[in-house]
Amino acid sequence: MFSLKGHTAIVTGGASGIGLATARMLADIKANVVIADLNDQAGQDMVATLAAEGCNAIFVRTDVADAADVNALIAASLEKFGSVEILMHFAGIGMEQSALATVQGDWDRIIGVNLTGSFLMMQAASRVMIERGYGRIVAMSSMAGLRGGTGRAAYGASKGGVAAMMRVMSMEWAGSGVTVNALAPGAIETALVKKMHDAETRRAYLAGIPMDRYGTPEEVAAAAVYLALPQSSYITGVTLPVDGGFDASGVIKRG
Ligand SMILES: NC(=O)c1ccc[n+]([C@@H]2O[C@H](COP(=O)([O-])OP(=O)(O)OC[C@H]3O[C@@H](n4cnc5c(N)ncnc54)[C@H](O)[C@@H]3O)[C@@H](O)[C@H]2O)c1
């Protein structure tokens, strides 16, 4: 029942973490996978792994904040597979820095990749999808974009912006067969989090997570893949928490 045979999925950020786990899961249910990432080596290694297992996969080196790269990515995907049904736009960067200590260069870099990159990717992919009357777009927000955690002025603003933009796009394209949703992960064990979360952040985060643990990339990928299926056709404009209960939580007594 849950097959994506004949569907082509672009996965940005597909060389690592949540993107890599999602690319793996999409390939497992027979999608053609286009891995788009800045990291050449890891992207090509992933494609080699998938190809060795008989999956259809290509790597396209892409900076999602660069409009020319984004257009070249769409063109390369169409040239190889003839269509783009799914966009998993997960490329992103982060930084833990207080609002007062955030310099404009860091602000511009994070907004540029996370928010402008999302705009460019979602707009470019949707053009192909709207023309063909079918598409599934999954953007990447974050709990940091919905809640007010410390140290996340630039990152939180970029991710809150993604959720707002996703809602607008989902309205504008609602009659076109293209659904647009976003994921809002909490704390997921990846390379990004190893960089962003020091020991104090980890303790503080765990205190607010009812499940009392960080999530895995596969747990986010499973939610992403559901939103990429033809069967998710009546869900659009949703920002889905994948967070061990963090967003729903209040006072938590343990034991
Ligand atoms: N890990 C978490 O706890 C968490 C929580 C909420 C949201 N997120 C979001 O999930 C997404 C994936 O994060 P992750 O934790 O898997 O991180 P990750 O660092 O493991 O993977 C991110 C990937 O994006 C790529 N990338 C970065 N900038 C790029 C650019 N300009 N163009 C193309 N590729 C680029 C990197 O090379 C890397 O392969 C990000 O958008 C992140 O903000 C992560």
Q: Is it the case that residue 1 has pLDDT exceeding 80?
A: no
Q: Is it the case that residue 254 has pLDDT exceeding 90?
A: no
Q: Helix, strand, or coil here: 133?
A: coil
> Which whole number is the average pLDDT over 94-119?
97
CATH of the domain at 227: 3.40.50.720
What does the alpha-carbon distance between residue 41 and residue 61 come to, in Å, rounded to a whole number? 10
Q: Is it the case that residue 203 has pLDDT exceeding 90?
A: yes
Q: Is it the case that residue 8 has pLDDT exceeding 80?
A: yes
115 lines ligand 1 (CB under 6 A): no
Domain that holds residue 83: 8-244
63 lines ligand 1 (CB under 6 A): yes
In this structure, which residue's CA is closest to atom 41 in ligand 1?
92
User: Is 176 among the domain residues?
Assistant: yes
When computed from its CA atoms, the radius of gyration of the chain, rounded to whole angstroms, is 18
What integer pLDDT is reported at residue 40 of this predicted model?
A: 97
Residue 255's pLDDT band (cuts 50, 70, 90): confident
User: Is 253 among the domain residues?
Assistant: no
What integer pLDDT is reported at residue 5 of this predicted model?
A: 97
Give how far Cα 50 sits from Cα of 3, 43, 58, Å: 17, 11, 9
92 lines ligand 1 (CB under 6 A): yes
> Which whole number is the average pLDDT over 42-52?
97
Cα 180 to its chain centre, rounded Å, is: 12
Strand partners, 60: 36
In eight-state DSSP terms, residue 211 is T
Q: Is it the case that residue 249 has pLDDT exceeding 80?
A: yes
> Which whole number is the average pLDDT over 165-193?
97
For the chain, the average pLDDT equals 97
What does the alpha-carbon distance between residue 51 and residue 250 come to, in Å, rounded to a whole number? 46
User: Is 100 among the domain residues?
Assistant: yes
User: Is 226 among the domain residues?
Assistant: yes
pTM of this structure:
0.98
User: Is 3 among the domain residues?
Assistant: no
Question: Mind listing the pLDDT tens digit for each residue in 63-96?
Answer: 999 999 999 999 999 999 999 999 999 999 999 9
What integer pLDDT is reported at residue 113 of this predicted model?
A: 98
What integer pLDDT is reported at residue 200 of this predicted model?
A: 94
Q: How many domains does the chain have?
A: 1
13 lines ligand 1 (CB under 6 A): yes
Ligand 1 atom, smallest distance to 188 CA? 3
In this structure, which residue's CA is closest to atom 35 in ligand 1?
91
